[in-house]
Amino acid sequence: MGTHLGQRLGSRYWALAMLSRGGSARAWDRDRKIGVVSHDLREAPAYSIERALGRDGEGPAYVLFATLSPDMRAWLSSLREVRALALGGIYPSEGDGWSLYDTSHAFDAVVVFGAVSSSRPTATGERKAKNP
């Protein structure tokens, strides 16, 4: 989808990552037996993109890669630790969602939140895992 939008919109299209230094998020339990539940997100390590580009405190940091210093752009051009969770998907079985990622080629900008909190489920719908 991003490739299609980039071709159609050109410089008016930006790929934006939304990251968090910690908090909690809802996703399926690892074994898919309970349902969509809250998971604690451990604090981002010092060497992660979330810590390098985020702010201390609760306020979000809005970072356009093109405005970063040459040194920071060079740092981002290597594989870096980032929390890659598909929120609402299945919580990863290992590593709490941290993986090496090439953000400098995948995104134009990031928003880094200090801490996020789990959403509250709506009153409708089934929230329990079902046997296939």
Answer yes or no: is pLDDT of 112 > 70: yes
Average pLDDT score over residue span 30-56: 83
CA 89 to chain centre: 12
Q: Which of 47-51, 66-70, 100-104 has the lowest mean pLDDT?
A: 100-104
Which tops the pLDDT comparison, 22 or 129? 22
At residue 45 the predicted structure's pLDDT band, cuts being 50, 70 and 90, is: confident
CA pair distance 132, 125, nearest whole angstrom: 18
Find the angle CA(98)-CA(100)-CA(58) to the nearest 5 degrees. Answer: 50
Whole-number pLDDT of residue 14: 87
DSSP at 13: -
CA pair distance 54, 39, nearest whole angstrom: 21
Closest C-alpha to 62, from 7, 93, 115, 18: 18
DSSP at 130: -
Give me 47's structure tokens. Answer: 């060497």
Whole-number pLDDT of residue 91: 67
CA pair distance 104, 12, nearest whole angstrom: 18
Closest C-alpha to 83, from 107, 51, 117, 106: 51
**Which residue ranges make up each domain of the chain?**
15-113
At residue 47 the predicted structure's pLDDT band, cuts being 50, 70 and 90, is: confident
pTM for this prediction: 0.74
In sequence order, which residues have a C-beta less than 8 Å from that of residue 93 and are 6 or more positions away?
A: 30
Answer yes or no: is pLDDT of 121 > 90: no
Which stretches of 1-132 are DSSP H helices?
Answer: 2-9, 49-53, 70-76, 103-106
Whole-number pLDDT of residue 107: 87
| Model confidence pLDDT, tens digit, residues 54-85 | 877 667 999 999 999 999 999 988 888 887 66
Q: Classify domain 15-113 at the CATH class level.
A: alpha beta
Average pLDDT score over residue span 6-26: 86
